[in-house]
Amino acid sequence: MHSLSEMATMPATTMSGSGGHEMISGGTFSNCGSSTSSVGHLGADGGSFVPTSSQDEAMDELGPVSRDRCNTWPMRRPNLDINAQTSPLIHEEIPEEENDLYDSSEHIGRLGGSSTNSNGVLHSPDANSTYSEVSSPVMNGVSPTESNEVSSNSKKSTTRRNAWGNMSYADLITQAILQSPDKRLTLSQVYEWMVQNVPYFRDKGDSNRRRASLPIIHCLSSTRPQRRRFFFVALNRSVLSLLHHYCWPTFLRSSFAHTSLVIRSQLCSTFFLAVCFSLPIFLISPLPAATMEASSSVDDDFVPEPRERCYTWPMQQFVYDQPPPQMMTSPMMREPTVGQMLTSTPSSSNMGAHLMPLGMHMVPGGSHGVNMNNPMSGGSAGGGPIPKKKRCRKKPTDQLAQKKPNPWGEDSYSDIIAKALESAPDGRLKLNEIYQWFSDNIPYFRDRSSQEEAAGWKNSIRHNLSLHSRFMRIQNEGAGKSSWWVINPDAKPGRNPRRRERATTIDVTNKAALDKSRGRARKKIKDLRCGQIIGSVNCMAGSQASIVSHDLYDEESMQGNFEPVFRPRTQSNLSVPGSSARVSPSMEQPFDDLDFPPWVDTASNMAIPNDIVDRTDQMRIDAARCGIGNNGNMNAYAQQQHQMQQIKQEPKIIKQENGAPPSYHELNSVRGPCAQNPLLRTQMTPPGKYQPMNMYQAYGNWGAAGVPVSAHACGVQQQSQSLGSALPIDLENLTLPDQPLMDVDMDVESLLRHELSQTRDHQLNFDL
């Protein structure tokens, strides 16, 4: 079994009341609350938050300092009156939700139907109905004909918010979950429920497509009202990091009681996001009685206490001592998450015994570094095409005898990289940090740290990072900054690249020919770049390619996909083998490895963004407003982060137009309105610093205890301000297949923006 550390190491993240307020008001985002309780009271009273002028003032007080330009979060928008009009309805419901928001179908119905409940009202799920037996739970209480009419009628109706009725996705999901026996469903079961119970989705057909593999479990069965709040748990660090970079906050259990409103609203977004992106997120009520109370003591001990501090900072870190029961026993957990797979490599326990038998100069195995064997291997150096001598890499007999696949041990580069990333406090490392991790933790590489010797294995690391969709690069905005590398939680476990084999089939005998052909290819590309229309598009192989903003290169032509004038180093130029012309992105299935609801127009609606801009290092924190007085409540890590933030404070950023036209980064910055997480590690903290086990010898214990806890705080609110007011309100609008400029990148952005717009709009759509 997997230890829980890899999936339940929860970063402490709380949302400050001010954050919640900002989210609603559309004001600026503050990463920090105040040290006083004035801001925190939002959570203290259980979410009875109402945007008032006084709070607005408080907000202003706490708001970020003025800045020239928003590189980390959107600038304050003048006014979002639209929200003010749309929100109150839902808004007013929230404060009172203490009593059973989720068990009250009426509430849900009301949320779903803003004006009339004729269609949106949901009756309480039949107590006898089981998940599998529900006939048409969504339309309970609605006459068959009526319901049918509602859902099948696609024409716009002013009384209907969505094509299927007034219920939001969250409403539907909630219904599905509530009607399940265990009050929890996997994502695929949610899909199934949708398809089975909502005619609109049923009609979309293809219910078996893109089944979810990663579960969302929603436990709402807590009997104690005070615990009937939600937070979500990223099951592993990978997800965590992704959430993190998406700016979806994760929460400590200790924080939820104070931030229920925020959490709920965040949850809704996350909820939806989870559905769309198949994030393995657990949605659980605070220690749901049904699933956790029985076996987990964590719950019972846990009593959230009010606290006076910035709720964006972690107070304490919450770590499951053991996996939540459902994770261990639930049959729904069919497919392991990436993180689980990473840590479930067989036998790494012998890593500890992995003695480097040979001195660093004996170099039994690897041909890395100074390779004596092949003096000609410097391919391009020579003047002319030198026939390349065949490489001969025989595995040394002693290594064979040890059954070790590699001179350093069992794990592949990929495995080691993954472990490095997982060991990182934020689940992310930069390339050189990965290098360092190798050197620090694995003797073999440590012994080959010289520039010359390291070139080989570093190359291999880079190669692996690029090659495997398992790893995801996150753009680190800022000149000269290398990207963050994280585990890609959406990577498909099994299959991966199908491009490697080509070499074996190509019969090119000498390097000259190879280079020549390569040159031709290059030339061809360059020619094409000069204006020819090519039928390929930057596409994703697996989920591995970077997402390219077509806004950049392809202003308005959906027909002609011009190659970019140049390809950013970090941008894949791969085209899909087999499908040359992909004029219509929805035709091909470049996202087969992604799990989307069947009815979702995957190609047009979303994709896993592999390029995410991270502007962590650019945030500016006003330390004075961050509740510094309560450091005693922080864990060491948080304190360190805190100090760092105080130290940092560099107002710089403001990376203005470098003379360049709307750059790739610029566009990325729009797409990835990721927040700067005040708790994110910066470059000032070396990756290995928080590692309890720094030795590769302890390798086998990874996953058990080796993953340090990290604290994350990530506000989602600030994103909302960047959203145009013209954003579609209904998800439907985003899934229209004929939306122009529809492409991977575009869709991610729009999806996120949509989500954010929902958030801004007071959870108009997704609030439960």
Partner DNA sequence: CTATGTAAACAAC
Partner DNA sequence: GTTGTTTACATAG
Contacts to Mg ion by CB under 5 A: 471, 544
Q: Which residues inside 355-384 make contact with DNA, applying CB under 7 A?
A: 365-369, 371, 374, 376-381
CB of 426 to DNA, least distance (A): 16
Beta carbon nearer to DNA, 571 or 717: 571
| DSSP symbol at 429 | E
Look at residue 377 and give the partner it binds from DNA, Mg ion, none, a contact being a CB closer than 5 to 8 Å depending on partner kind. DNA
Q: Which is nearer to DNA, 285 or 476 (CB)?
A: 476
**What are the respective helix, strand and coil percentages of the chain, to the nearest 5?**
40, 5, 55
Residue 393 contact, options DNA, Mg ion, none, Cβ 5-8 Å cut-off depending on partner type: DNA
Angle among Cα 300, 304, 305 to the nearest 5 degrees reads 135
* Single-letter amino acid, residue 26: G
Considering only residues 411 through 440, tell me which ones interact with DNA, judged by CB under 7 A.
411-414, 430-432, 435
Kindly report the CA angle at 74 between 71 and 78, in degrees rounded to 5? 140
Nearer to Mg ion, 91 or 470 (CB): 470
3-state DSSP assignment of residue 85: helix
User: Closest separation between CB of residue 236 and DNA, Å?
Assistant: 19
Q: Which is nearer to Mg ion, 426 or 490 (CB)?
A: 490
Among DNA, Mg ion, none, residue 407 binds (CB under 5-8 Å by kind): DNA
The Cα–Cα gap between 420 and 412 comes to 12
Contact of residue 519 among Mg ion, DNA, none (CB under 5-8 Å per partner type): DNA
Using Cβ positions, the residue closest to Mg ion within the complex turns out to be 471
- Number of CB atoms found within 10 A of residue 737's CB: 12
Smallest separation, CB 514 to Mg ion (Å): 24
* Residue 158, Cβ density class (10 Å: 0-12 exposed, 13-18 middle, ≥19 buried): exposed
Binding DNA (rule: CB under 7 A), the pick from 294, 392, 636, 726 is 392
Nearest by Cα to 476 from 618, 598, 295: 618
Instruction: Return d(Cα 657, Cα 479) in angstroms, integer.
Output: 12
> Smallest distance, Å, CB 713 to DNA?
24
Of the pair 235, 434, the CB lying nearest DNA is at 434
- By beta-carbon proximity to DNA, the closer residue of 44 and 514 is 514
Q: Tokens 């390929």, residue?
A: 536
Closer residue to DNA in complex, CB, 424/768: 424
Complex with DNA: residue 230 or 485, whichever CB lies closer: 485
Q: Which does 331 bind (CB under 5 to 8 A by kind): Mg ion, DNA, none?
A: none
Contact between 323 and 2 (Cβ < 8 Å): yes
| Span between the terminal Cα atoms of the chain, in Å | 34
For residue 729, count other CB atoms closer than 10 A to its CB: 18
Q: Does 682 bind DNA (CB under 7 A)?
A: no
**Closest approach of Cβ 506 to DNA, in Å?**
5
Question: For residues 197 and 476, which CB has a smaller minimum distance to DNA in the complex?
Answer: 476
Least Cβ distance, residue 608 to DNA (angstroms): 14
Report what 479 binds from DNA, Mg ion, none; CB cut-off 5-8 Å by kind.
DNA
Record the tokens describing residue 585, joined without a space.
């992105």
Stretch that binds DNA, among 93-101, 387-395, 643-651, 723-731 (CB under 7 A): 387-395
The residue (of 325 and 497) whose beta carbon lies closer to DNA is 497
- Min. distance of Cβ 468 from Mg ion in angstroms? 5
Q: Which of Mg ion, DNA, none lies near 460, with the C-beta cut-off 5 to 8 A by kind? A: DNA
The DSSP string of 489-503 is TTS-SS-----STHH
Give the one entry of Mg ion, DNA, none that residue 719 binds, where binding means its C-beta sits below a cut-off of 5 to 8 angstroms depending on kind.
none
Between CA 537 and CA 580 the distance in angstroms is 8
How many residues bind DNA (CB under 7 A)? The answer is 81
Q: How far is the CB of 465 from Mg ion (least distance, A)?
A: 6
The interface partner of residue 495, options being DNA, Mg ion, none and the CB cut-off 5 to 8 Å by kind, is DNA
Binding region for DNA (CB under 7 A) out of 159-167, 216-224, 410-418, 583-591: 410-418
**Are 103 and 150 in contact, with CB atoms under 8 Å apart?**
no
**Nearer residue to Mg ion within complex by CB, 51 or 590:** 590
Which residue's entry shows tokens 């560099």?
650
What does 132 interact with, of DNA, Mg ion, none (CB < 5 to 8 A by kind)? none
DSSP category for residue 535: S
Binding window for DNA (CB under 7 A); candidates: 72-80, 454-462, 696-704, 736-744: 454-462
Residue number, 3 or 544, with CB nearest to Mg ion: 544
Site for DNA in 508-567 (CB under 7 A): 508, 511, 514-515, 517-519, 522, 544-546, 566-567
Distance, CA of 67 to CA of 28 (rounded, Å) = 11
The secondary element (H helix, E strand) that includes residue 281 is strand 281-284
For 372, residues 6+ apart whose C-beta sits below 8 A from its C-beta are none
Token pair for 623: 């330390």
Amino acid (one-letter) located at 11: P
Residue found by looking up tokens 């009685």 in the block: 289
Q: Which of 87, 238, 270, 460 forms a contact with DNA (CB under 7 A)? A: 460
Closest separation between CB of residue 336 and DNA, Å?
A: 15
CA distances from 610 to 473, 474, 545, 555 (A): 6, 7, 7, 21
Residue 1 binds which entry of Mg ion, DNA, none, with Cβ cut-offs from 5 to 8 Å by kind? none
Residue placing its CB nearer to Mg ion in the complex, 216 or 417 = 417
What's the Rg (C-alpha) of the chain?
26
The length of the chain in residues reads 768
Beta bridge partners of 430: 484
241 makes contact with DNA (CB under 7 A): no
Residue 605 belongs to what H/E stretch? helix 602-605
For the CB of residue 576, give the shortest distance to DNA in the complex, in Å: 11
> Per-residue x/- mask for DNA, residues 566 to 585, rule CB under 7 A?
xxxxxxxxx-----------
Question: If you ran DSSP here, which 8-state letter would residue 472 be given?
Answer: E
CA trace torsion 562, 563, 565, 566 (10° rounding): 170
User: What minimum distance in Å lies between the beta carbon of 293 and DNA?
Assistant: 40
Per-residue binding string, DNA, 469-508, x by CB under 7 A, is: ----x--x--xx-xx-x--------xxx--xxxxxx-x-x
Cβ–Cβ contacts within 10 Å for residue 466, how many?
Answer: 16
* C-alpha distances in Å from residue 109, one per residue of 85, 103, 116, 678: 20, 11, 9, 38
Judged by CB, which is closer to Mg ion: 162, or 544? 544
